[in-house]
């Protein structure tokens, strides 16, 4: 049975440990992107271009809540509905709708200053993860590639050398592989997410953080940030 969480300070809950923790205990911090590092679900915003945002967003919400168990199929369904969207709209989404969530810059900077490597693992798309990687100076990324033909989305994704879709299991594998590459134990990793497909990597990490998360994720995480920005983790993990 999962231990009950207790409120460390308003809107910040902890479970299973006594703060503060030290950055010295960790060597990697892994982030989900959509609704964690950034304020939107990119697939939903792309769908707005073809008048299908409500339909796509309903599938996204069910997947993030864990009500759809086959994440890969749910993503294929959503991407199929994007067929025909002009790729220029992706840049418009990035420029006009996407923002970093509060505290994202500060938390990433603090982790890097403490010597941690950073990982971005997303069920979203490389168009956005590449830009967030460059913007924040992220060390490693894994996400999905949208197929494009004649300047428009085809409604399909491109298989990559590591597999077809970055789902929860791939997030877990990438976290473990990155730890191995860095010579770290998984317990030396921090994993931050908000949806059900983040639970596999959060379950491997030494510290799991739910950020304004779905109930199932919040109930299992060691830290739940329900109010304020990502930098509230700095109340718990210090130099």
CATH number (domain holding residue 122): 3.40.50.1000
For residues 88 and 108, the answer to whether their CB atoms sit within 8 Å is no
Distances in whole angstroms, Cα of residue 83 to Cα of each of 46, 90, 127, 155: 10, 13, 16, 4
| Percent of the chain with pLDDT strictly greater than 90 | 96
Q: Is 44 one of the catalytic residues?
A: no
Residue 33 lies in a domain: yes
For residues 173 and 145, the answer to whether their CB atoms sit within 8 Å is no
Choosing from 32, 44, 198, 231, the catalytic residue is 32
Report pTM: 0.96
Q: Is 34 one of the catalytic residues?
A: yes
Residue 220 lies in a domain: yes
Residue 225 lies in a domain: yes
Residue 22 lies in a domain: yes
Residue 219 lies in a domain: yes
User: Are β-strands 117-125 and 28-31 bridged in parallel, bridged antiparallel, or unpaired?
Assistant: parallel
Choosing from 25, 34, 44, 130, the catalytic residue is 34
For residues 36 and 211, the answer to whether their CB atoms sit within 8 Å is yes
Give the whole-angstrom CA distance, residue 139 versus residue 175.
13
Residue 3 lies in a domain: no
Average pLDDT rounded to a whole number, residues 51-71 = 92
Task: Give the torsion sign (CA, 131, 28, 70, 4).
Answer: negative
Domain extent, residue 29, equals 11-238
Asked whether residue 1 carries a pLDDT value surpassing 70, the answer given is no
**Tell me: the pLDDT tens digits for 120-165?**
999 999 999 999 999 999 999 999 999 999 999 999 999 999 999 9
Residue 53 lies in a domain: yes
Number of domain units in the chain: 1
Identify the pLDDT of residue 49: 87
Identify the pLDDT of residue 179: 98
Residue 4 lies in a domain: no
**Tell me: the pLDDT tens digits for 160-194?**
999 999 999 999 999 999 999 999 999 999 999 99
**Tell me: the pLDDT tens digits for 195-233?**
999 999 999 999 999 999 999 999 999 999 999 999 999
Identify the pLDDT of residue 2: 66
């Amino acid at each position: 049975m999962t231990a009950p969480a207790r409120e460390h300070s308003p809107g910040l809950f902890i479970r299973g440990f006594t703060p503060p923790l030290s950055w010295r205990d960790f060597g990697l911090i892994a982030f989900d992107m959509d609704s964690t590092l950034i304020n939107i679900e990119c697939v939903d915003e792309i769908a707005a271009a073809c008048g299908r945002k409500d339909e796509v967003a309903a599938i996204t919400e069910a997947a993030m809540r864990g009500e759809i168990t086959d994440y890969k199929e749910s993503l294929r369904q959503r991407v199929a509905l994007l067929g025909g969207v002009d790729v220029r709209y992706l840049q418009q989404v990035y420029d006009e709708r996407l923002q970093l969530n509060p505290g994202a810059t500060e938390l990433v900077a603090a982790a890097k200053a403490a010597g941690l490597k950073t990982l971005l693992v997303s069920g979203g798309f490389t168009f956005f993860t590449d830009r967030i990687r460059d913007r924040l100076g992220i060390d490693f990324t894994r996400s999905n590639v949208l197929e494009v033909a004649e300047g428009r989305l085809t409604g399909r994704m491109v298989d990559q050398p590591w597999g077809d879709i970055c789902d929860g299991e791939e997030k877990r594998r990438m976290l473990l592989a990155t730890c191995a590459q860095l010579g770290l134990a998984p317990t030396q990793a921090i994993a931050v997410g908000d949806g059900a497909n983040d639970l596999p990597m959060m379950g491997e990490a030494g510290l799991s953080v739910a950020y304004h998360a779905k109930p199932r994720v919040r109930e299992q995480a060691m830290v739940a940030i329900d109010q304020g920005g990502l930098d509230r983790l700095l109340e718990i993990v210090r130099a």
